[in-house]
Structure 1
Amino acid sequence: MSQQLYLPLGGVYPIPYEFETDTMPVPRGQFSILSELEDGNVTSAEAIVQLMLNHGSTWSSGLSWCLSTPYLSEIGGMSRRYVRDVLTSLDKKGWIETIKTSNPAGYRYRIQHYLCDEDQVPVDYNGKPLTFSMPRGPGGPLERCFGGEIPWKAALVWIVFKLRSEWRAGRDNTGQTWESTLLDLSKQCRMKLADFQEMIKILEQQGMLQRLTPKSKPAIFQLYPKPYPRPVSRSPNTSTSSTSTPPPSKETLEFDGEGYFDGTHYYSRNKLYRCSRETEIIEKRDGNQWSEISDFHRGQVMNPAILEYFKKCLEAKRVVESAVFKD
């Protein structure tokens, strides 16, 4: 039976961003900042500032761009003194390392994705650090916070909801939170219940969530923007940005010590990425589906060693083609 949609104030708030345009990885699981927030080891302000630094950093190294206290104060809607106190606390607890520079744009920070030894980092079934995808770009919770559309507490509530939701695309409940009481959810965010409820109202008014259950029952919310629907399989003659082909078998590949080549594509060692020899487009595999990666994914998520391998292969191809042309 489908759920009835209970709309606030008896009306319908506009949904300015129904689907996400890009995503960024956020650590989850034991030893992550959100896990420590739930356990009460960090404050809500410390959690959101660390997430802001994660937003402005390179995932592979954890090194942020130059970020000044006035800038963080402005985009976070906090006083400069409050931001300084939070950064000092995060530094003392080991969540960030402050790197002083002569750049007038501010210091750089190396963030700790998991506050534990390397061999204790929680991993997924592929052996990669445990993360979940959060919308980045238009409609993203941090972008809307930076733009002054929502307060930082509302952004944190949305992120905690995202962690406690079905984020896999193509499901009936995609983007819906798990059933829970508002009191339990407020404790997850380390906020007073009254403040938490006020943030819920703001998120509803901004079209970032809708409650799907009546107030007499545990809450289930629909989050916006939702994960973008997975593309459907198309015929070979139909133009599309993704293709459905199984991962290549060892019999069809040539291994050069760093990756593979099947005559048309270069593959990373784990066969998760491939680069077209003809178009030089890089794609990522999800099951049997190959989709072109975004510029953000290329620069912030993808392992730099894989990108360097593809560049080396393409450069070698150009050298060969140039020699043939001269002959």
Structure 2
Amino acid sequence: GVFQIEGDGAAEFLNVVTSNYAGWLEDGQSQYAYLFDPDGNVIDDVMVYRRSRDRYLMVVNAANEAKDWEWLNGVNDGRYLIDREIPKRRIVPRVRIRDLKDERGVIDIALQGPLSRDILIEAIGRENGPTLDSLERTKFCELIVSGHQLLIARTGYTGEPLGYEIYLTGEDGRWLWERLIELGRPIGLLPCGLAARDSTRTEAGLPLYGHELAGPYGIDPFEAGFASYVKLHKPFFIGRSEALKSYLNRNREVVRFTVDSEARPVRPGGAVLDRNGAVIGRVTSSVSLGPVQVGMALLERIGLGEGEEINLLNEVRGEAGKPTSRLESGDRVAVPIYGRIAPRFPTRMPISDGGE
């Protein structure tokens, strides 16, 4: 979903509803942030783009679009409690929130990888090359190319050091898509969907809402390894008090792990065991990447070092909990899969200093 926040109070509104500090942004800059409810639960993770002093884009997860729209409008209208300590606190002044996907059919095309710059310059014209070259990570520009309006951001959720997300309307999107495929296919550009993106973001250690963020285990940004995007120095944002408690009392963490490719596939929801066979966590994501499997897991302890041995136990499909004394020929039992703790982020993954 793509929402536009408009009005003189747009920056202040975003400072209240998101965990990052929108006041740091200048025109053409973006930042990653979280939406919390007053109890510190993560509603969604979002990207915020400053188009001008009184116009910001907020890009939300498609699966959470309706929920986020209702939450933001409810906060703006004063229908929802935003501070349990000061129940009468409200947003002042109000802003205008527009759904650009609904109004104009705005979509996002993500062009990621080491050749993305070269392909995009060919698609939008070499005369726009200097503008594209000037974009540092998380910055964006707005261009009119052959009558097509494009917002091009040096952002992405694949872990690639170089990549772009292009926001444009449906008709403009069809034009750009066809040009990218035509120009990029000879040098290896392939269209792909969210399953392919999921493999790259897992390899990069990036959390996905419902897996390493919120979801069945209620994972918060501190546990996910993204504390720098929660600006606890701000005097107030929705959920700040509970977020501070989570930060001070953290006793869980998300880790990355690797498994040899010859091993059976590791499935999300599987148990993580230490070397002594004690359950210490649950697998949240796992993908096969050529010679290895790479995954992430939530551990109920902090501090397992890189290279430490773990065992992963998939849930047995069918009858479960049968005592060993009753096992018969053909019964299936879970067999541990050997793995090791990997660095939280690959070395090729640029890590934010917290200012994005």
| Fold in common (TM above 0.5) | no
Q: With CA pairs under 8 Å and 6+ residues apart, which has the higher RCO, 1 or 2?
A: 1
Higher strand share: 2
Higher helix share: 1
TM-score by length of 2: 0.27
TM-score by length of 1: 0.28
